């Protein structure tokens, strides 16, 4: 058995994800779900930044050609099992692997910014329509 300092980071990630996948959130307490969700979202953002940085390097080096693909977008579709649109989305994020994202921090919503009900936006419970209730 290897220690954390000897283990490959990707192996550690996969082991940690296996533990999370094996945990049934239905059996967790409300407090545990509420406490874990922000940390999981931070981890998703951090992993997205890592993927984006690797993808930027992959694209810069034209490594898709090694696998017989003309473009990185085609490579993502073939090997990443994603649509061309999803692949294009990843490529647009690749240069944006910022230190904030790599640290796992999320952008915080600023209060008071956004659409209000009189601008056609929906705010809170009052903005929801019941099933069958049409536009007024």
Predicted local confidence at residue 86, as pLDDT: 94
Apex 44 CA angle, 16 and 93, nearest 5: 135
pLDDT digits (tens, 9 = 90+) for 103-126: 555 444 344 444 444 445 555 555
pLDDT for residue 103: 56
Residue 19 counted as domain residue: no
Could you list the residue range(s) of the whole structural domain that residue 73 is in? 30-100
Distance CA 90, CA 87 (A): 5
Provide the 8-state DSSP code for 126: G
**Per-residue model confidence (pLDDT) at position 111:** 43
The pTM of the whole model exceeds 0.95: no
**Residue 93 resides in a domain:** yes
User: Does the residue 56 lie in any domain?
Assistant: yes
Residue 102 has pLDDT above 90, yes or no: no
Residue 96 lies in a domain: yes
Phi, psi of 66 (to 5 degrees): -60, -35
Q: What is the CA radius of gyration of the chain?
A: 21
> Is residue 99 predicted with pLDDT exceeding 70?
no
Domain annotation covers residue 85: yes
Q: Which residues of 19-37 are buried (b: 16+ CB within 10 A; e: fewer)?
A: eeeeeeeeeeeeeeeeeee
* Residue 49 resides in a domain: yes
Domain count along the chain: 1
Reported as a single tens digit per residue, the pLDDT across 12-65 is 999 999 999 999 999 999 999 999 999 999 999 999 999 999 999 999 999 999
Residue 48 lies in a domain: yes
d(C-alpha 64, C-alpha 66), whole Å: 5
User: Is residue 65 a part of any domain in this protein?
Assistant: yes
């Amino acid at each position: 058995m290897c220690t954390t300092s000897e283990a490959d980071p990707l192996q550690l990630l996969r082991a940690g994800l296996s533990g999370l996948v094996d945990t049934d959130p239905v059996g967790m307490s409300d407090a545990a779900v509420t406490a874990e969700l922000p940390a999981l979202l931070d981890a998703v953002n951090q992993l997205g930044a890592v993927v984006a940085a690797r993808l930027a390097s992959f694209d810069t080096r034209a490594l898709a050609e090694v696998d017989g693909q003309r473009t990185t977008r085609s490579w993502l579709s073939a090997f990443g099992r994603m649509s061309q649109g999803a692949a294009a989305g990843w490529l647009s994020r690749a240069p944006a692997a910022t230190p904030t994202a790599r640290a796992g921090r999320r952008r915080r919503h600023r209060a008071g910014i956004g659409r209000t009900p009189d601008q056609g936006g929906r705010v809170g419970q009052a903005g929801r329509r019941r099933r069958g209730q049409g536009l007024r």
